Amino acid sequence: MKCRKCGVFLIAGENCWSGAIKHHDYICNDCHNERQRLLAKRRIQNKPLHARAKWLRDRTGTKIYYPDLMQLMHKQEGLCAICGCQLLETRICVDHIIPRANGGQAIKENLQLLCEMCNVGKHHWTQAEYVEHCQQITQYQKMTKMAVAGKKRK
């Protein structure tokens, strides 16, 4: 059998999720763990800000509390730190300015609030890298539109 997500051959008791055969869900341990992590993240996405503060404390071991996030919300005037759209309390993403993957710490000074679209797009980049990437995409789209418009005129 192969993992239905990544194609790795499954070996019972070694890399196969224990419930895979029982539930006819043939996935490896890595894919199962990734799915569980994504499900947990999705469950927290629609929670109010105080629940997100607790989730952040539990996940990173930091001393981040609801008043800290509200203070950050007030400092950003309720706007996304990247695109400037209005943030809704149940749709806010707490983001690390310097990503943890790049050595950033989970401290108050390294946090910002983003809308979901910016948070998903930013991923593991710094804010400057993400903004530069967005500008490159916009520039490419403009060039493509101009090229298409030029061909239509001929």
Band of pLDDT at residue 8, cut at 50, 70 and 90 = confident
- Can you tell me the mean pLDDT for 32-59? 70
Q: Which pLDDT score, from 0 to 100, does residue 42 have? A: 61
> Rounded to two decimals, what is the model's pTM?
0.59
Q: Which pLDDT score, from 0 to 100, does residue 45 have? A: 58
Q: Which pLDDT score, from 0 to 100, does residue 75 have? A: 93
Q: Which pLDDT score, from 0 to 100, does residue 14 have? A: 65
Q: Which of 37-51, 85-99, 137-151 has the lowest mean pLDDT?
A: 37-51
- Can you tell me the mean pLDDT for 112-134? 85
Band of pLDDT at residue 31, cut at 50, 70 and 90 = confident
Looking at per-residue confidence, does 16 or 37 come out higher? 37
Q: What are the chain's domains?
A: 1-44 (no CATH), 46-141 (1.10.30)
Q: Which pLDDT score, from 0 to 100, does residue 79 have? A: 92
The type of residue at 61 is G
Has residue 13 got a pLDDT over 70? no
Has residue 139 got a pLDDT over 90? no
Average pLDDT, the chain: 77
